[in-house]
Amino acid sequence: MSIMANSVKACFENGYIVIQMADGMEIKFPVSHNRRLASGTEEQLNNIEISPYGLHWPELDEDLSFKGLSEGNFGQHAGSNANRCNKKASSR
């Protein structure tokens, strides 16, 4: 099940992604908590496409859903160096 939300604004400020929702809620998280965002430039981090379902950074190939963000899921942690598929394949 997806959550549709209305984001008024999303931007990069002082090391954080800040999302202002239409209902007044604010979601804020450090880019260091997301592997792909952590490697982005200020220009790339501010190039955010907003949809009814979430955010997309086209230059960084990252998508985050409003549902996940509201649950504290900010994507793969910057300290993680492998995804589940790679871990599974290497264990064979």
For the chain, domains (ranges, CATH) are: 7-90 (3.30.2020.40)
Residue 40: DSSP 8-state: -
Contact (CB, 8 A) for 57 and 36: yes
- Binned at pLDDT 50, 70 and 90, residue 7 comes out as low
pLDDT at 83: 43
Residue with tokens 């800040």: 18
Q: pLDDT confidence of 32, banded at 50, 70, 90?
A: very high
pTM for the structure as a whole? 0.76
